[in-house]
Amino acid sequence: MKPVVNLKKLPFFIKKDGLDIGIISYGGCGSNCLTDFLKNNGYKVKSPIQNKILCHCPVVPKSNIKFIYIYRDPRKAFLSQYRRKPRIWSINQKKMSNDYHTKLSDENLLKLILFHFRTWTTKKRKNVLIIKYSDFFKDEGREKIKKFLNNKNLENFPVYVQKNKTEELITPEIQALFNKYQKEIDYINNYKP
């Protein structure tokens, strides 16, 4: 194993980079869109540690900053990353496992997505907002973000635009993989933040 980052030092790196908020997802969930939106509203959300691992961090860091965890149907998130194979597909597996030598595979990616969600959502934390991707584009979700950040002046929320029809990427092998992990996929899709 070769770690991407010494996870015990994450609080130090977060403080060093001066982050206001950490934006976390398992990838393919609109985290870059959320990051750009908050940056445009004056928050420090981009930094070396955010890019290196925090964006897909496999643990919840012991930090005083706020975190927004954005997620969506894990099948869509998987397909979004699969579509960008090999670069994003491989990088995100390394970040979510914190291991440059993780065994890369489609199944590994899906298992990491499912584990990542449980890690970030099993225990309620005051400094972590969990929001569904689709809610980021609705009034209810936007109000949650405003309340969480104690900022009623957030403006220029993005408009939802469907860019890709990732469902076209589903092969019999990928469908079999989804079937194998259907229970865990359903758990995420039925989760109420």
- Alpha carbons 184 and 98: distance in angstroms, whole number: 22
Out of 48-52, 83-87, 144-148, 162-166, least confident range = 162-166
Longest alpha-carbon distance in the chain:
47
pLDDT at 169 over 90: no
Whole-model pTM over 0.75: yes
* The pLDDT value given to residue 175: 97
153 sits in which H/E element: none
Q: Which structure tokens are listed for 110?
A: 């899906």
Distance CA 118, CA 115 (A): 5
Whether the predicted pLDDT of 167 surpasses 90: no
d(CA 175, CA 184): 14
Q: Kindly tell me if the per-residue pLDDT of 164 is higher than 90.
A: no
Q: Tell me the domains of the chain and their CATH numbers.
A: 7-189 (3.40.50)
Strand order in the sheet with 128-132: 21-24, 66-71, 128-132
CA 144 – CA 129 distance, rounded (Å): 8
Which residues sit opposite 21 in a β-bridge? Answer: 66
Torsion sign (Cα): 31, 33, 34, 40? positive
**Residue 192 pLDDT:** 92
| Nearest residue to 96 via CA among 82, 81, 115, 80 | 115
Q: What are the pLDDT digits (tens) for 15-35?
A: 999 999 999 999 999 999 999
Q: Is the pLDDT of residue 168 over 90?
A: no
Q: With 80 as the cut, is the pLDDT of residue 105 above it?
A: yes
In tens, the pLDDT along 117-156 reads 999 999 999 999 999 999 999 999 999 999 999 999 999 9
Rounded to whole angstroms, the Cα distance separating 94 from 53 reads 9
Taking 3-state DSSP, the helix, strand and coil percentages for the chain, each rounded to the nearest 5, stand at 55, 10, 40
Name the average pLDDT for the chain: 95
Residue type, 38: L
Most confident of the following: 6-15, 155-164, 167-176? 6-15
Classify residue 127 as exposed, middle or buried by CB count within 10 Å of its CB (0-12, 13-18, 19+): middle
C-alpha 65: how far from its chain's center?
17
Residue 166 has a pLDDT of: 76
